[in-house]
Structure 1
Amino acid sequence: MDTPLDVGRLRLLHEVALRGSIAAAAREVGLTPSAVSQQLSILEREAGTALLDRSPRGVLLTGAGQTLVVRARSILQVLEEARADLDRLTGELSGHVRIGTVASAAAALVSEAAIRLTTEHAALELTVTVTEPARSIDQLLNGDFDIAVVDFYDGVPVAVPDYLMATDLCTEPLVVVTAAGALPGQAELKLSELSDANWVMPPLDAACGQAVRFACRAEGFEPRVRWETDDMLLLVRAVAAGHGIAVLPRLAVADKVAEVQIRPLAQPSMSRRLLALTRSSSQDRPIIRAALDELVKSTG
């Protein structure tokens, strides 16, 4: 009689495939590397074949290991759907919700939602990690996050797998941010009028930095970037100090930490969408649904 494969050991194999090493998988599940290695050896005996090529440099999945990981992923998804079904039937609002989010949404939306959630549901545990959308989506797919709050900018496509579900939070304009009094008046500005200015910008690997640079080039000029940072508080302070101007989503302008002037951008009109992504297998869990509802309320 064939020995049945143990789901817990399949999960460990899946973690090794995701993390790239036994040590990293062990850190993720809270076991020692030797314990994980021992469990994987048992899984190989259950499978009747080698699943890992072990060497001093690390481990690689064999062909059989890769095949089994694909099946393990399907099994874990079914188990997550079963957990969602049970939670929905009981209406239980307890457990751990892990949110990955862009920084501006963390300050403007997620913080407020988190306070309401943990105040109203004492058995619910919430953790928030600030990270860029691409990494946030990867960690959502890997099961490290339950919700990923990401932003999409005009002209900067982001690949979202079909089996992730999106909840629209808001769409907001990008605005011109300058030191107080640097550009007199309140009228809308054209991007082309800012071609001779010094700029303060997020880096190119940030979606906002890409979108603004692409828009400037479409208007026929390369922005003269004098300060580059993905720290929005520092960015606004740099603008307030007169180091340059910036074009940012309105929610990203931390104007309470430094005195700046905000002007509408008329041409080209640029916007940012904020979305909350979840795995389709977990989106109906009551705690996930409650977190999504609070995020939507925060856009008020």
Structure 2
Amino acid sequence: MDLRQLKTLIAVADTRSFAASAEIVNLTPSAVSQQIQALEAELGVVLFDRTRRPPLLNAKGEEVVRAARQVVQIMTEARQTVSGGSTGGVLKIGSIRTLSRRLVPAAFAAVRHVHPDLSFHLTVGMSEAILSDVAAGRLDAAVVAEHVELPAGLSWHLLLAEPLLLIAPKEWESEPPETLLTRLPFIRYETKVPLARQIDVELARLGIEPREVAVVNTMPSVIGCVLAGLGASVVPKSAIPEEASYAIITRPFANGPIIRRIGLVQRQVSSRSVVLSEVRRALADQAHSMGLDVPAAAQL
């Protein structure tokens, strides 16, 4: 068994195709097939169900792929550490959408002042997906909302705790905040992310059943609906663009501060630990400049 075979197996697993994986690992499809067969012979197990077209990983194959990802990641990071490339090259960072517009790019710019040879690859997605990418080694770290279940081998570093705010069209400025959700139609944020669940849970806790006028799955669209005068909604502070302040009002959501905790997730053992420390510091500094400090209560 060698690293090339493991990388080939991972490529086949990711593309679900022997032919497509051949382009990734710079081999012919027949060479890919030969490497997989050699790996199966060495392990003494069949990794693919070849009665299916295309062949699919079986249960043993899934286990070997998980182990292969760990081995390849360890070897890659060991080589980077030895070669002194841990603060250069490309840093692959994931981010949830609401923080990818201002906070993360500003942090990148700050880090580059310290490490001018560093470049960045930003992947924007849902917390669950980019967490999986960090665990699999496809990303070095990710800015995500707090997660109850953190995959093994990852660590969480709290960056900020931002309030959830009730927003409404400017003409409702004189209305008491407690009546906005009952008098105005509601724009509901519906997607499979912790933020959407957090808003729904808090509305239920308050006993509020808003009259939905729209259901959308991106935060910019939620804010766009409010800007258009369609109704009110609840959003995290970081999602509100500065240029929107002229047309909307913001009020505290519920009776006390309802917060969303944001952190940086990275592998517990990483050759990029030095530069990731700089990234965490830059993210925290930018959060401070945006008024998104971590209150003491949020650190518990």
Fold shared per TM-score above 0.5: yes
Deviation at 1:213, TM superposition (A): 1.7
Describe how 1:1-300 pairs up with structure 2 within 5 A.
5-17=1-13, 20-22=16-18, 25-26=21-22, 29=25, 33-62=29-58, 65-80=61-76, 82-83=78-79, 85-86=81-82, 90=84, 92-118=86-112, 120-152=114-146, 158-184=148-174, 189-190=177-178, 194-257=181-244, 259-282=247-270, 284-300=272-288
Unmatched tracts of structure 1, length 5 or more: none
Q: Secondary structure at the match of 2:93?
A: strand
Contact in 2 for aligned 1:109/1:295 (Cα 8 Å): yes
SS in 2 for 1:195: helix
Q: Name whichever of 40-49 and 214-223 sits farther off.
A: 40-49
Report how far residue 178 of structure 1 moved.
0.8
Where has structure 1 moved over 6 Å in runs of 4 or more? none
- Asked if 1 retains the 8 angstrom alpha-carbon contact of 2:95 and 2:144, the reply is yes
Structure 1 counterpart of 2:215, one-letter code: E
CA distance in 1, matches of 2:184, 2:232: 7
The runs of 5 or more residues in structure 2 that have no matched partner are: 289-300
Indicate if the aligned counterparts of 1:84 and 1:281 stay in contact, CA closer than 8 A.
no
Task: Report the TM-score when normalising by structure 1.
Answer: 0.81
In 1, Cα distance between the equivalents of 2:174 and 2:26?
A: 58
- SS of 1:181's equivalent in the other structure is helix
Q: Measure how far apart 1:252 and its partner are.
A: 1.0
Q: What CA RMSD, in Å, does the superposition of the two structures yield over aligned residues? A: 2.9
CA shift, 1:70, in A, is 4.8
The alignment-based identity, stated in percent, is: 28
Q: What is the Cα deviation at residue 131 of structure 1?
A: 0.7
DSSP 3-state at the match of 1:267: coil
User: Cα gap change, 1:63/1:133 in structure 2, threshold over 3 Å: closer, same or farther?
Assistant: closer
Cα offset for 1:283? 6.3
Q: Deviations over 1:241-281 (max 9, x none)?
A: 21010111111112414621111234153110111100112
Residue type of the partner of 1:179?
A: P
Is contact 1:9-1:39 (8 Å) kept? yes
